[in-house]
Chains A and B, each alone.
Chain A
Amino acid sequence: MISLKIDNKEIEVPAGTTVLEAATLSGISIPSMCFLKGHSNHPACMVCLVKDNRNGALVPSCALVATNGMDLNASDPDVLEARRKSLELLMSDHVGDCEAPCSLACPANMEIPLMNRLIGEGRFTDALNVVKDDIALPYILGYICPAPCEKACRRKQIDEPVSICVLKRFSASAGSDNKALAASRKLNLISPEPAGKIAIIGSGPAGLAAAYYLQIYGHSCTLFDKASEPGGTLRSDIPDEELPKNIIDLEVEIIRSMGAAFRFNTLVTEEFYNSDIKDSFDAVIIASGDTAAGTHFANLIASTKTGYQTDEKNMSSSLPGIFVCGSAIRPHKMAVRSVAQGKTAASSVHAFLHQKHFEKPAKIFNSRFDKLLPAEYSEYLKESIPDRRVMAVSGYTGGFSEAEAILEAQRCLHCDCRKKDDCKLRNNSDEYKIERKRFQVGNRKAMTKKVQHDLVVFEPEKCIKCGLCVEISSGESEKYGLAFEGRGFDVVVNSPLGVSFSEGLNKTAIECVTSCPTGALSFKNSNNNNER
């Protein structure tokens, strides 16, 4: 046995163990990307650096074999900073979006490219499922959302953005049975016990959204509204030409069908709260809209200049058990923001009922880049169709037919990374809180995509040159395999001697994709990478 010290911890490991393995065995976490057990592990990424306390040298732990008397540091500021820098350098040479720009622009962070792919494949119910994960009222929003997603859409640079908003509306209407979907969702209860009773004050977009998600969690909701019909400002402020009233009714009906109770013509004042709500409900969500019309709970919970004081990470007010969302915090121009907050409030209430604390997960690290270069248009179009925006025959209000929707959805460039949920570069960048642009000095490389392969998409500008795929494909089973091409900064992975990528990567394709630490190699069918 070999005995060594990592972070002053005495460790015994069998001879031949690497420091990375020794650390992992003893519970010391060292990040790594290019390391894969059973392979040659020629150090490349340099994020597994540790410091040799005897001479201060930084050494890659994946290739360092433990020897007696070693004294290493795996966590001091020098080590962490060196790892962080290597990640920042790698990121400076990494071109690609983790999440698509549209998703990031969406206040509800809806997985728009996935919706597009599913609609494009004619899988409308699946598409709606994806939409409803983040947006409770897609039918309504499909009419009125100002669509910040479309402003961020990369397709806009090439011709016009994908009509995301109308596609979302389409998903909620034509192709799928909304009620059935809502009901099936309710069966997939996330945590049925204890089921709570929640009072939601206001049946506008925020309140409706909160009710939708709370019922999915298995709780029962009562929505109070001073008006005689549900919908809040959706009904009162938006002309019928923009948002037909029957659309509001349809989407409210889904929520009602899940079990929600509505009490109209009921202005919830503090007095009413004390008499009818406080003791009858387990939690309260205030979604009563713009407080300019009157603050009814000013004595109950703290206020700000614009509305009720709210911690937007979990929509909690100053009083436990009372939550706030929508324009009651401050007037929202976009209903989608209220809808997103409704979802957060629901999650937070659910956690509260389980005596748990909830916080909306902080946005994790995202690789992004500025505009597409003209040379990249054709690369992105490889996974799309060249047609311009589809104009619905039945007009904007009428929306897309199935055929139109499929065609329009296929215009999506699929900017999101297929491996965004399984990328070591992204995860480590997030963990080390890297500064993405720190070393972005010169011009970035132009993004390329190799999509001819049946199974695999190769995006060389996401490659960190670890060489795992080259090594894996170099065995006897491949006639050609993959090869490193060139040297230094210009080195790329490619199929050798001018053969096609499909010829190069054949028998070992699956192993190569699963071993690839980044999104450089991914399965063409996104389901295999990261679909739920």
Chain B
Amino acid sequence: MTENLIDKVDKLVQETGTTPDMVIPVLQAIQKEFNYLPVEALKRVCEITEIKPGNIHGISTFYSQFRLKPVGEHIVRVCIGTACHVKGATLVYDSFRRALKLKENEDTDDKMLFTLEKVACLGCCTLAPVVQIDEVTYGHVGIEQAEGILQDFLKRLENPAAASSHFESSGKALQGEVRIGLGSCCVASGSQAVKAALEEALSHSNINVLVKQVGCVGICNQVPILEIHKDGEIPAIYAKIKPEEVREVIKHHFKPKNVADRTKAGIYNFFDTIVNREIPRSLTYYNPESKETPVSEFLLPQLSIATEFRGELKPGDLDEYRSKGGFTALEKCLQELDRDELIAIIVNSGLRGRGGAGFPSGVKWRLVKQAQSDTKYVICNGDEGDPGAFMDRMLLESYPYRVIEGMMIAAYATGAGKGIFYIRAEYPLAVKRIREAITICEKEGLLGKGIMNTQFDFEIKIFEGAGAFVCGEETALIASIEGKRGLPTMRPPYPAEKGLWGKPTLINNVETLSMVSWIIRHGDKEFSAIGTESSKGTKVFALAGKINRGGLIEVPMGISIRQIVEEIGGGIPNGHKFKAIQIGGPSGGCIPASMADISIDFTSLKDAGAMMGSGGLIILDDTDCMVDIARYFLSFTQNQSCGRCTFCRIGTTRMLEILDKICSGKGTHGDIDLLEELGKSTQAGSLCGLGKTAPNPVLSTLRYFREEYLAHIDGSCPTGKCKNLITYSINEDCIGCTKCAQRCPTQAIEAKPYELHVIDNEKCIKCDICREICPTRAVIAR
């Protein structure tokens, strides 16, 4: 063991903590330092802390964030979230394996340059399929692009773009405001480069506008987005803007303030206009008030409560949040409402937990309030782990103060003095924004002792989850904070009576807390007027998959599936047919297009065999194989099972094996019955919500798409998705361009210029490159 390592570990431990509950933060700190967890470092931790070897071993192998082997210099993350999956993420992953020449069971290339990882969801569903290398995100990745992307990344390293300079208004009268989205999708789509271009353009022109970074606008399908706001003018929205287009847009809307500036700008622009005479034609310009545009169609059926002032608020700006009514709800609670009155408002509003199960929030608050204890906790559950769901991340990133305010109101109502934000470590931006917001609130006296000159004391800490879907389950989440493996425990006792450290604990989802201040400000009646009998208010969904306009939407409960797909989403792209929606992620189910008129609310979704879940909403078209979808979700939950109880640990594994068998054409009719039977047993016999809902995607597809299962039993995959059941061939449309032959990684196609090409199925690995690259669509997978 090198002394250097010991010193570093000692220092990290000193900074982080030595008690057993600090094991996860300690490991996170060590991994941040070394990029993995060297076993010597772990042994050292055991020597100098109260953490035991068994515990550190159990923790470091439980959470997927932790790596026990050294990794390459750069991490390539292939998103295998739902939206990416339906757009071919598995093939993309395979293509990177080939490009990096990875050996079986190895994830790092020979040069230790790149390590390849699959990630559950990068939250850029509208850019699917997505690959991230370190901080650089590549969207709409084609299967044949792997090599090019790796090269592009290395090129960027050699020639780093100039770091974006900061700029601020110079105190002169502002000519307007330029808003730029800095949610994760926007950033992934290149909004940083757009921002850099904007700064560049402005610094040369002396145009005095306020550049404002706003949270997620929700129109993720159109990112990066640049909005121009000028007094007395209808805002202009530029979608899918490219950095090189920014200067012209700015010039079009703003003129320099004084002559000198104008001259300077003129000269500057003189050279510039040689290449860029007018607003580039490729640019999509939308007027948000015209009903005919995709942007307004996207936005109009929506209703913003959790996402109130979307695209207007700068995430970290407390003053702005306050200027729009922020913290008035808290003030009202502290000064006008007693705790029972407050809880009554939440009960009467009909708010139900937005994390999935839909337990009435007010009732939960009341249980915690009634529990007798001198210490109580409020936990904000931001362990959003569903592939294809990124609502919570967006809310945390874009409206940190709103979530904090919601948490404080909940704390006041229940008598809790301590709050914990449990946020996935995979959401670094969300962690950063909340951390900054907490610091600012503390400075402003909104957190701490005697808040708003009342008796109310409250403090907030952040706990970064280390990557385990099961920790979304509240008892597992608590175990995780306590420094244990994230294993769910039996309820009762419920956290409301015996939660964190055995104390009464309120656990609410991010989105639930985001709605609280609105309800207080507008009243329970206004909230309960929205929605259906069983489900009040709005719900935020991540709309993605085979849809023209994906993104983050907030809609009133009771809206129909059809409205979402057709009105908000603008239908299915490329002339394909709407087949089904997958709602609720791995806990949810598939609802066929024939049932598109059912209302989206807790009850009807459950009746349909799906569930609200946390809000992933994936649209599937006629090219999607439902057996493959079921297998995809089940493989996710199977992989995320904590492994504690028999039905979840082994039951989901056996179900997955049966599905594998069916997808490879070796299934029998008996297998379908066995699958269904095992699914029902796993629902009934599992201990926690993960196991109880894991069979839903399978059972719901068996319910609505049984004929597809039967087709697989008979040896064919109707949509040509299941690799083992398809073969590739080239038809008469082939023009003999040889492109496929050149790109085939296994030489399964011989290049014969101007001749009909032939695929050697012995050599073919079904990577799909030929089909993707063929200019005449002559490659057929069947």
Contact = CB atoms under 8 A, between A and B. Distances in A.
B641 A489 contact: yes
Contacts of B658: 441
Interface stretch (B226-234, B364-372, B404-412, B649-657): B649-657
Interface residues of B, number: 46
Interface in B633-650: 638-647, 649-650
Contacts, number: 142
Contact of A486 (B53, B643, B651, B681): B643
Contact of B638 (A45, A485, A488): A488
Given A46-B685, A496-B54, A499-B53, 9 more contacts: A44-B646, A89-B651, A439-B654, A442-B661, A464-B646, A485-B61, A488-B649, A491-B643, A491-B649
Contact of A439 (B642, B678, B684): B678
Interface of B: 39, 42-43, 46, 52-58, 61-62, 64, 468, 485, 487, 489-490, 492, 638-647, 649-654, 657-658, 660-661, 674, 678, 681, 684-685, 687
Contact of B490 (A63, A465, A483, A486): A63
A519 interface: no
A370 B482 CA distance: 44
A497 B42 contact: yes
Interface string A41-73: 011111101000000011110011100000000
Contacts of B685: 46, 49, 58, 82, 85-86
B643 A483 contact: no
Contacts of A82: 681, 684-685
Contacts of A80: none
B654 A483 contact: no
A487 B62 contact: yes
Contact of B54 (A44, A63, A473): A473
A198 interface: no
B53 A481 contact: yes
B62 A465 contact: no
Contact of A465 (B43, B644, B654): B644
Q: Among B58, B642, B643, find the residue whose CB has the most chain A CB atoms closer than 10 A.
A: B58
Contact of A480 (B53, B644, B660): B53
Given A44-B646, A82-B684, A441 B638 contact: no
Contacts of B62: 484, 486-487
Nearest to A482: B54
A490 interface: yes
A228 to B, nearest CB: 62
A64 B492 CA distance: 8
A152 interface: no
A487 B61 contact: yes
B649 A465 contact: yes
Interface residues of A, number: 49
A497 B39 contact: yes
A465 B490 CA distance: 17
B643 A487 contact: yes
Given A89-B650, A474-B52, A497-B57, A43 B643 contact: no
Contacts of A494: 57
A225 B646 CA distance: 60
A57 B338 CA distance: 38
A90 B653 CA distance: 12
16 contacts: A43-B687, A44-B644, A45-B646, A46-B685, A46-B687, A57-B684, A60-B490, A85-B647, A89-B654, A92-B650, A439-B650, A439-B674, A473-B54, A479-B53, A484-B58, A485-B58
Contact of B56 (A58, A487, A496): A496
Interface string A30-46: 00000000000011111
B149 to A, nearest CB: 31
A259 B658 CA distance: 63
A483 B54 CA distance: 5
B539 to A, nearest CB: 27
Contact of B643 (A59, A465, A497): A465
Contacts of A86: 646-647, 685
Contacts of A27: none
B639 A488 contact: yes
Contacts of B657: 441-442
A227 interface: no
A447 interface: no
A92 B654 contact: yes
B489 A42 contact: yes
Contact of B57 (A47, A59, A439, A485): A485
A374 interface: no
A85 B682 CA distance: 10
B643 A490 contact: yes
Contact of A90 (B55, B56, B57, B646): B646
A65 B684 CA distance: 19
Q: Among B64, B649, B653, find the residue whose CB has the most chain A CB atoms closer than 10 A.
A: B649
Contact of A60 (B58, B660, B681, B687): B687
A93 B42 contact: no
A499 B53 CA distance: 10
Contacts of A439: 650, 654, 674, 678
Q: Among B55, B490, B638, find the residue whose CB has the most chain A CB atoms closer than 10 A.
A: B490
Contacts of B639: 488
A498 interface: yes
A86 B685 CA distance: 8
Nearest to A484: B58
A145 interface: no
Contacts of B661: 441-442
Contact of B468 (A60, A487, A490): A487
Nearest to B675: A441
Contacts of B489: 42, 63
Contacts of A499: 53
Contact of B61 (A59, A90, A470, A486): A486
B58 A483 contact: yes
Nearest to A33: B646
Nearest to A40: B489
A151 B405 CA distance: 75
Given A60-B490, A488-B639, A488-B643, A481 B650 contact: no
Interface string A436-453: 001101100000000000
Contact of A489 (B46, B56, B468, B638): B638
A95 to B, nearest CB: 13
Q: Among B42, B639, B645, find the residue whose CB has the most chain A CB atoms closer than 10 A.
A: B645
Contact of A89 (B61, B487, B646): B646
B650 A64 contact: no
A65 to B, nearest CB: 7
Nearest to B658: A441
A441 B650 CA distance: 11
- Which 6 A-B pairs rank lowest in CB-CB distance, beginning with the nearest? A496-B57, A442-B657, A491-B643, A483-B54, A483-B57, A441-B657
A297 to B, nearest CB: 50
Q: Among A59, A64, A484, A498, find the residue whose CB has the most chain B CB atoms closer than 10 A.
A: A484
Interface in A408-461: 438-439, 441-442
Nearest to A59: B490
B674 to A, nearest CB: 8
A42 B688 CA distance: 12
Contact of A46 (B54, B64, B487, B645): B645
Nearest to A51: B684
B492 A65 contact: yes
Q: Among A42, A49, A467, find the residue whose CB has the most chain B CB atoms closer than 10 A.
A: A42
B385 to A, nearest CB: 13
Contact of B642 (A47, A481, A482, A487): A487
Contacts of A42: 487, 489-490, 644
A499 B58 CA distance: 14
Contacts of A59: 490
A482 B57 CA distance: 9
B42 A488 contact: no
A473 B53 CA distance: 11
Contacts of B46: 497
Contact of A497 (B53, B485, B487): B53
